Chains A and B, each alone.
Chain A
Amino acid sequence: MADVALRKVVKRYDDVEAVRGIDLDIADHEFIVLVGPSGCGKSTTLRMIAGLEDISDGDIMIGGDVVNDVPPKDRDIAMVFQNYALYPHMTVAENMSFGLRLKHYPKAEIKARVTEAARLLDITDLIDRKPKQLSGGQRQRVAMGRAIVRNPKVFLFDEPLSNLDAKLRVQMRIEIKKVHQKVRTTTVYVTHDQVEAMTLADRVVVMNKGRIEQIGTPNELYHKPATRFVAGFIGSPAMNFLPCRLEDVGGTLQIRLTDRIAFALPPARAARYNTLPRTEKLLLGIRPEHLTESHAHLGPGVESFDTVLDVTEPMGMETLVYFGLDGTPVCGRVDPNAGAKDGAPMRLAMDLNNMHLLNEATGAVL
């Protein structure tokens, strides 16, 4: 068990900078998820922590020691790969014990550790099988077992659930969380799936184009995104961004979306945004769940407007509605019984208490 620290870590491939100066502190026992679109440098960062990639600049520390030039085998880490990377010619038990056998652990201890890990992962019956005879989910468990038996300082997961089908992915997600609750090893987990990131992490690191966009707990990222990228990346369906501007009408601050739609801001928001120049080009960020069907008793800060729906998507527990505001496509979530129909007019309500205001040019959340 150990903490991990990255100091201004850079990775260059010839003339391409894949990772551009990352600073990150991971506490002991913490479950950190690196999330971002493909090519954002998250896997490269993980592989640098593992020692599978050299770092071009900066320092990586595990348990307080700089490990820049320490080979992977001496870093005391364990890694779970996307395609599991199980040795096909070894049985499950041999796969799990390979690292311990190389380090000449006593046979009795190897057996005890493998048995314990197999019990933890519920693969005791599979211990004598070859990887070929296992399903995807079982192979994933074996790969995790191989990491657990080593009892390393840090677990590294490189998109471990990407090769599984949707149902199994949800199941294994819960398994991984359970295992972490039991063994409490510091974990760095890479994924491009924001749902995985949100559900597993103590803290999520959102990466984009080789840089860290924001670090925070899942709730912080969801409710207080720092940039347009984070706001758009976290949450599904994604947050809507509507071009808008601020205007003063009769002493109250209004937000104008289109020629015919403008809403008075709730007092708390008005106070926050009052100092902004009125000429600045802004974006209103509003999540689909804050665009719902309108009804007679709207709370303070909830404003209604009329629109014509383009498409509806009934999901069962809710219906997603898509419409346009001045050419900008918008998504809302309404009650399945609210009567939303393709091409039909509908009165919707926007909850401005949960709005975000962004600078269109910089993408910063104001």
Chain B
Amino acid sequence: MADVALQPDRVGTAQPARKRSSLQKALKRKSTAAFLMTLPLIILIALLVLYPAFYSLHLATLNKSMQRFVGLGNFEFLFKRDTFWLVVKQSCIFAITAVFFKALIGFIVAHFVHNIPAKGQRKWRGMLLVPWVIPPAMSTLAWLWLFDPSYSAFNYTLSFFGIGPIPWTGDAAWARFSVILVNVWYGAPFFMIMYLASLKSVPEQLYEAAAIDGANWWQRIWYVTLPMMRNIIAITTLFSLIVTFANFDIVRILTAGGPLDHTHIFATWAFRIGIEGSDIPLGASVSLFMVPILAVAAIFILRDVNKRGNEA
């Protein structure tokens, strides 16, 4: 096969009589076969990703009734609105804070689980993964009940200590805290399982060498564990930043962006304007703002993966 593929392409100079044989040759090429085999997936991606992406680009250039081309008018309008900048700020706070705590809690829990004897470890690993495997829409509904201002378990429990009632979703600061808390609860197990896998791949002898070298518990984490996990930490953090930044379900169910838009992030605000507010072009423009921000993160991820690939 390989030598066939290496033959120079003679389609351009071929006589009509030889056309059929060059078609056969083309079909025999590995690259042609590979292309044909991946074609269904390429079509699927084109239909479900590329077409909507370009369609939303097109939508973003129309007026509210979607009948007139306004160019960058929608974007100009957004820049002038305070709510837009509030959403930008909130999206950044939401994503960065949530990812930071997901990573921190994941790291700490991974350490605990790693130190559980192998026998009981599977049980704990399974249980700790539960928040991540429950569909977030369902678990967020449960959280919504826990946060209920009058009858919730949280406020009921706190009342014994003379605290509260706390307006979990009613006050801007508490509402932001609540959506971040639920996102951390939902996402930390993913970090835990990634960090656990990474911890298991650190050779035990490095810790023994460090112990003999005189490193205490903290120094072993700082000088051995963290450097050894650097790659996995970078990749999971960036990956999670993208997913968290584009989060929709938790905010939508818990606060629907309220109170007074103070928990809206890009996806929920785009939904509010585009679908609920019937201004689809403006909603499309809002959602398109995620692209440059996420693209930067994606470039970082791919660069890191490439670097790792080259090192190996």
Q: Please give the residue numbers on chain A whose beta carbons come within 8 Å of chain B beta carbons, in ascending order.
A: 50-52, 71-73, 77-79, 81, 83, 85-89, 98-99, 102-103, 132, 146, 150
How many whole Å from B74's CB to the nearest CB in chain A? Answer: 48
Assess the B214–A99 pair: CB atoms within 8 A: yes
Residues of B within 8 A of A52 (CB): 208, 211-212
Assess the B211–A99 pair: CB atoms within 8 A: no
Q: What are 12 A-B pairs with beta-carbon distances under 8 A?
A: A50-B212, A51-B212, A72-B208, A73-B211, A73-B214, A77-B212, A85-B205, A87-B227, A89-B230, A99-B212, A102-B214, A102-B215
B219 close to A (CB within 8 Å): yes
A51 to B228, CA, bound (A): 24
Tell me which residues from 225 to 254 in chain B have a Cβ below 8 Å from any Cβ of chain A: 227-228, 230
Assess the A85–B203 pair: CB atoms within 8 A: yes
Residues of B within 8 A of A71 (CB): 211
Assess the B208–A81 pair: CB atoms within 8 A: yes
Closest partner residue, chain A, to B227 (CB atom): A89
Tell me which residues from 10 to 66 in chain B have a Cβ below 8 Å from any Cβ of chain A: none
Identify the interface centre among B203, B213, B224: most chain A CB within 10 Å of its CB: B213
A71 to B211, CA, bound (A): 8
A52 to B208, CA, bound (A): 7
Residues of B within 8 A of A150 (CB): 213
How many whole Å from B202's CB to the nearest CB in chain A? Answer: 10
Closest partner residue, chain A, to B205 (CB atom): A85
Residues of A within 8 A of B224 (CB): 87
Q: Which of B203, B213, B311 contacts A102 (CB 8 A)?
A: B213
Residues of B within 8 A of A85 (CB): 203, 205-206, 208-209
Closest partner residue, chain B, to A158 (CB atom): B205
Residues of B within 8 A of A89 (CB): 227-228, 230
How many whole Å from B10's CB to the nearest CB in chain A? Answer: 46
B145 close to A (CB within 8 Å): no
Q: 10 closest A-B pairs (Cβ-Cβ)?
A: A99-B213, A85-B205, A73-B214, A85-B209, A89-B227, A102-B214, A72-B211, A72-B212, A81-B205, A79-B212
A165 to B185, CA, bound (A): 51
Closest partner residue, chain A, to B311 (CB atom): A132
Q: Which of A78, A86, A132 contacts B212 (CB 8 A)?
A: A78
A263 to B247, CA, bound (A): 92
A79 to B205, CA, bound (A): 11
Residues of B within 8 A of A102 (CB): 213-215, 219
Closest partner residue, chain B, to A143 (CB atom): B209
B85 close to A (CB within 8 Å): no
Q: How many residues of B contact A (CB 8 A)?
A: 19
Assess the B212–A87 pair: CB atoms within 8 A: no
Assess the A87–B211 pair: CB atoms within 8 A: no
Known: A52-B211, A73-B213. 9 other contacts (CB 8 A): A73-B211, A78-B212, A81-B209, A85-B208, A87-B223, A87-B224, A99-B213, A102-B215, A103-B214
Closest partner residue, chain A, to B206 (CB atom): A85
Tell me which residues from 193 to 216 in chain B have a Cβ below 8 Å from any Cβ of chain A: 203, 205-206, 208-216
Given A83-B203, A102-B219, also A73-B212 (CB < 8 A): yes
How many whole Å from B285's CB to the nearest CB in chain A? Answer: 45
How many whole Å from A36's CB to the nearest CB in chain B? Answer: 21
Residues of A within 8 A of B210 (CB): 87, 98
Closest partner residue, chain A, to B204 (CB atom): A85
Given A98-B223, A102-B219, also A87-B206 (CB < 8 A): yes
Closest partner residue, chain A, to B209 (CB atom): A85
A71 to B212, CA, bound (A): 8
Q: Which of B209, B216, B219 contacts A79 (CB 8 A)?
A: B209
How many whole Å from B94's CB to the nearest CB in chain A? Answer: 33
Assess the A83–B212 pair: CB atoms within 8 A: no
How many whole Å from A2's CB to the nearest CB in chain B? Answer: 16
Assess the B206–A73 pair: CB atoms within 8 A: no
A72 to B214, CA, bound (A): 7
How many whole Å from B115's CB to the nearest CB in chain A? Answer: 16
How many whole Å from A93's CB to the nearest CB in chain B? Answer: 14
Residues of A within 8 A of B230 (CB): 89
How many whole Å from B29's CB to the nearest CB in chain A? Answer: 38
A81 to B219, CA, bound (A): 20
How many whole Å from B227's CB to the nearest CB in chain A? Answer: 4
How many whole Å from B304's CB to the nearest CB in chain A? Answer: 15
Assess the A79–B223 pair: CB atoms within 8 A: no
How many whole Å from B290's CB to the nearest CB in chain A? Answer: 35
Q: Which of B208, B213, B216 contacts A98 (CB 8 A)?
A: B213
A86 to B228, CA, bound (A): 12
How many whole Å from A262's CB to the nearest CB in chain B? Answer: 56
A49 to B215, CA, bound (A): 18
Closest partner residue, chain B, to A98 (CB atom): B213
How many whole Å from B210's CB to the nearest CB in chain A? Answer: 8
Q: Which of A78, A79, A99, A146 contacts B208 (CB 8 A)?
A: A79
Assess the A73–B215 pair: CB atoms within 8 A: yes
